Structure 1
Amino acid sequence: MGCTVTFHDRVGHDRIAMSVEPLAADVAIALLEDAVRETVQAGFGADATEVELTLCGDTEMERLNFDHMGERGPTDVLSFPLHEWSVNGGTSHLTDDDGVSPPGPLLLGDVVIDLDQGLRQAAEGDWGVTEELVLLAIHGTLHLLGHDHADIEEEERMRAIEHHVLGVLHRRHT
Structure 2
Amino acid sequence: MHSFDDYTPARTGQWQSTPLHLIQRGIAYHEAGHTVLGLLAGFACEYTRVHTIDVGQANAIGWTGSTRWAPSFGTFLDVAVASGAAGQAADVHHLRESGRLTPETARAARADHDKTMVINLLEAAGCPIVEAGPAPGGGLAWDQVMAHAERLVEQEWRRITVVAEAILAAPDFTLSGDEAARLIGA
TM-score, structure 1 normalization: 0.35
1 or 2, which has the higher helix percentage?
2
TM-score, structure 2 normalization: 0.33
1 or 2, which has the higher strand percentage?
1
Report 1 or 2 for greater relative contact order, CA contacts < 8 Å, sequence distance ≥ 6: 2
